[in-house]
Amino acid sequence: MEIDTIAAISTPVGEGAISIVRLSGPDAIKIADKLFKGKNLEKVNSHTLHYGKIIDPGTNEIADEVIVSVMRAPKTFTCEDVVEINCHGGLMAVNRILEMVLECGVRLAEPGEFTKRAFLNGRIDLSQAEAVMDVIQSKTSQAMNVALNQLDGKLSRLIRKLRQELIETIAHVEVNIDYPEYDDVEEMSHELMREKTRYVHEEIERLLQVAKQGKILREGIKTAIIGRPNVGKSSLMNSLVQEDRAIVTDIPGTTRDIIEEYVNVRGIPLKLIDTAGIRETKDIVEKIGVERSRKILQEADLVLFMLNYNDELSEDDKEIFHMLHQMNYIVIINKTDLPQKINMEEIEKLADGNAVITTSLIQEEGIEELENELSHLFFSKELMSDDVTYVSNIRHIHLLKQSKEALEDAMEALELDMPLDIIQIDVTRTWEFLGEIIGDTASDSLIDQLFSQFCLGK
């Protein structure tokens, strides 16, 4: 199939100092040279920058003053010739240059097509390609480190090592079956097969043990702040975000809608959701907000349930405790600067072992204790370790679970002394599931779907 040349804007839309139009393909340098007034781009060295102007071939007018980078295959991101036109930021200049490039016969790139070409050309595997978007979407430095390790191939190398162990085992069984007369080939026994499968199973289990932490670092913890009106939910959000994101007043029911914000707490990304106060109300607008709050509560990974130190426990509060049964939650007793009216013994009993923290947000007290509890709740050990391979992608986790189940079927069959040629069917399934992680056995439709989720120009 003939490879065409693609182009797209690779910087965010909007005003900025610099915008970039990226080209990749066999004619990238040739087409860029048609528009560039400066050095002959077809004769310059690879990986060099050149100052000049982009000239509209139709009107011979200057479109913009630019710096053009020229990178020749195969030492580029896509393993193809790549040109990046660095122009002034904003909408007009970059869009005009892109239109001129497309008029020269270049095709507009599909979402993620540059990274897809890097994958198809063998520069990166599928797990590394997915890590590209994880790097872009990282909310904390720890999440960034996980993504960079995956982009560097740390997960890929481990998966390839496990697949190699399995394929050697499968091949060994095949040789024993097809060529029983070969005396110099070690016979694959049930004990040897058990040893191989046990090793791979232990490695997969180890990956899954830290997968929950990896997934949290990648996606964040969906954290709902709930409670009756005027207990300080918006104040808590503003304290964690460290800016006035939510409106704070003494009037109950001020928050009518859902407010969302990402915040970094001890390296843990929290997707904070400030909800409308949960209470019985006749106000139609507030009632809609309360119903939305109830829905958010059901979908949350963690709930911060706020109560008022200066109020006795209400029936609405007791109902919320009932709703939180078997959920991850922390009880926050706010406004400790006011006289105590709440029964702390009753709260401890209703919390049933979940953490209870006292705060006075107006005096900025209790936030550090809350952050300590959040860190302990999800990361009881050291948050990051260089010798741990973190799995953070939900697709990878699902395939690892399928691999583990297939391998356990094989191990169960080994205990029953079933024939090795039957057992190797489950071993082969494990090998195929692991191959889907790095793209060796992934279908074209899966690959297309994954790259369609990328941003345009990446």
Tokens of 331: 């009880």
Within a domain: 69: yes
% of the chain with per-residue pLDDT over 90: 46
Which is more confident, 270 or 291? 270
Query: Rounded to two decimals, what is the model's pTM?
Result: 0.74
Tokens of 218: 């990648």
Same domain, 137 and 198: yes
Sorting pLDDT into bands at 50, 70 and 90, what band is 127? very high
**How distant is the alpha carbon of residue 393 from its chain centre?**
6
Domain boundary among 358, 378, 398: 378
Same domain, 70 and 33: yes
Nearest to 266 by CA among 217, 299, 198: 217
Give the pLDDT confidence of 354-366 residue by residue, as tens digits: 999 999 988 888 8
* HSE-CB for 63 with a 13 A CA cutoff: 27
Write the DSSP string, 176-197.
HHH-TT-TTSPP--HHHHHHHH
Mean pLDDT of 159-174: 89
Which segment of 214-218, 338-342, 384-388 scores lowest on mean pLDDT? Answer: 384-388
Tell me what pLDDT residue 182 has. Answer: 53
Same domain, 310 and 417: no
User: Is residue 125 over pLDDT 70?
Assistant: yes
- Domain CATH code at residue 37: 3.30.1360.120
Nearest to 218 by CA among 327, 304, 114, 136: 136
Tell me what pLDDT residue 137 has. Answer: 80
- Report how many helices (DSSP H) and strands (DSSP E) the chain contains, helices first: 16, 13
Same domain, 305 and 159: no
**Are 66 and 52 contacting, i.e. CB atoms less than 8 angstroms apart?**
yes
What domain count does the chain have? 3
Within a domain: 281: yes
Within a domain: 147: yes
Sorting pLDDT into bands at 50, 70 and 90, what band is 288? low
Tell me the C-alpha distance between 36 and 50, whole Å.
10
Question: What's the chain's average pLDDT?
Answer: 84
Tell me the C-alpha distance between 145 and 366, whole Å.
30
Sorting pLDDT into bands at 50, 70 and 90, what band is 133? confident
Same domain, 181 and 308: no
The structure tokens 């130190």 sit at 309
Give the pLDDT confidence of 19-60 residue by residue, as tens digits: 999 999 999 999 999 999 999 999 999 999 999 999 998 889
Same domain, 275 and 364: yes
Tell me what pLDDT residue 42 has. Answer: 95
For 225, the domain range is: 221-378
